[in-house]
Amino acid sequence: MPELVFFSGTMDCGKSTLALQIAHNRDARGLVGVIFTRDDRAGEGKLSSRLGLVTEAIEAPEGMDLYGYLVAQLSQGGKADYVIVDEAQFLAPDQIDQLARIVDDLGLDVFAFGITTDFRTKLFPGSQRLIELADRLEQLQVEALCWCGARATHNARTVGGAMVVEGAQVVVGDVNRPAEEIGYEVLCRRHHRKRMTSAAARAGALSPDVLPVNHDA
């Protein structure tokens, strides 16, 4: 039976790598896949992994009818055996409904990959709808680590290395951006609550609580 499967995890836990692996394994068996993505770090119409792997994909902007796109492709003689959606958290809830319809009406497996919560620990609407509709939820087994070595559970947005908790929900960035730019960092819950990024931790280590006093002065 075809399924809608939601693979979730924090940033930097290998979601896009797994998506590329699934596509590779099925393509090697002669199956044809359709890959959708939104706002990938490599640019429009790309599915990329931080390991350096990249493949062409179909950009799925706001308002695009994913079900309608598949129906049109199939009606024109195209072939599709499965669907992969990366950065699924950026999709609108109605687009997630369209993914469910692809499974139910077209009989195709849909593998969606995304993070569940934003930098404010709030659910992305697309991820919330996937949790509500998916036949199966899969937590990625490759654990991203906080700078302290604990399991990372939260995504933090940073500006100049400092964590921010206000702003638009979607701002495209990456965990490998220079500190002075808008970027992201994965943190454990404790350090996310304390807004303690790796840069803040380094600064704290370099700033002693008590300055030495020169009694000879």
> How much is the average pLDDT of 161-180?
69
Confidence band for 180, pLDDT divided at 50, 70 and 90: low
- Binding-site residues for substrate sit at 170-173, 184
Q: Compute, in degrees rounded to 10, the torsion defined by CA atoms 73, 82, 6, 62.
A: -10
Sheet holding 136-139, edge to edge: 58-59, 33-37, 82-85, 109-114, 4-8, 136-139
Residues in binding site: 9-16, 86-89, 170-173, 184
Q: What is the mean pLDDT of residues 22-49?
A: 84
Residue 87 falls in the annotated catalytic set: yes
Tally of domains within the chain: 2
Same domain for 80 and 160?
Answer: no
Higher-confidence residue of 203 and 35: namely 35
Looking at the fold, whether 92 and 189 belong to one and the same domain comes out as: no
Domain for residue 214, yes or no? no
Quick one: 184 and 132 in the same domain? no
Is 212 a member of any domain? Answer: no
**Residue of 200 and 93 predicted with greater confidence:** 93
Binding site for ATP, by residue number, is: 9-16, 86-89
Nearest Cα to Cα of residue 3 among 111, 87, 93? 111
Q: Are residues 119 and 174 in the same domain?
A: no
* Longest pairwise C-alpha distance within the chain: 88
Please give the average per-residue pLDDT across 195-201, as a whole number. 89
Tell me the percentage of the chain whose pLDDT exceeds 90: 50
Q: Could you tell me if 77 and 166 lie in one domain?
A: no
Same domain, 126 and 194: no
Query: Within a domain: residue 210?
Result: no
Digit-coded pLDDT (tens) for 68-99 = 999 999 999 999 999 999 999 999 999 999 99
Same domain, 195 and 133: no
Catalytic residue chosen out of the listed positions 3, 87, 143, 166: 87
In this prediction, residues 8-25 reach a mean pLDDT of 84
For the chain, percent of residues with pLDDT exceeding 70: 85
Q: Is residue 147 part of a domain?
A: no
Question: Is residue 162 in a domain?
Answer: yes
**30 occurs within a structural domain:** yes
Q: 130 and 185: one domain?
A: no
Same domain for 23 and 95? yes
Beta strand pairing call for 154-159 and 162-164:
antiparallel
**142 belongs to a structural domain:** no
User: What is the domain-level CATH number for residue 99?
Assistant: 3.40.50.300
At 217, the pLDDT band (50, 70, 90 cuts) reads: very low
3-state secondary structure of 209: coil
d(CA 186, CA 151): 9
- DSSP character at residue 177: S
Same-domain status, 21 and 119: yes
Domain that holds residue 90: 2-137
Mean pLDDT lowest among 4-8, 117-121, 192-196, 201-205: 201-205
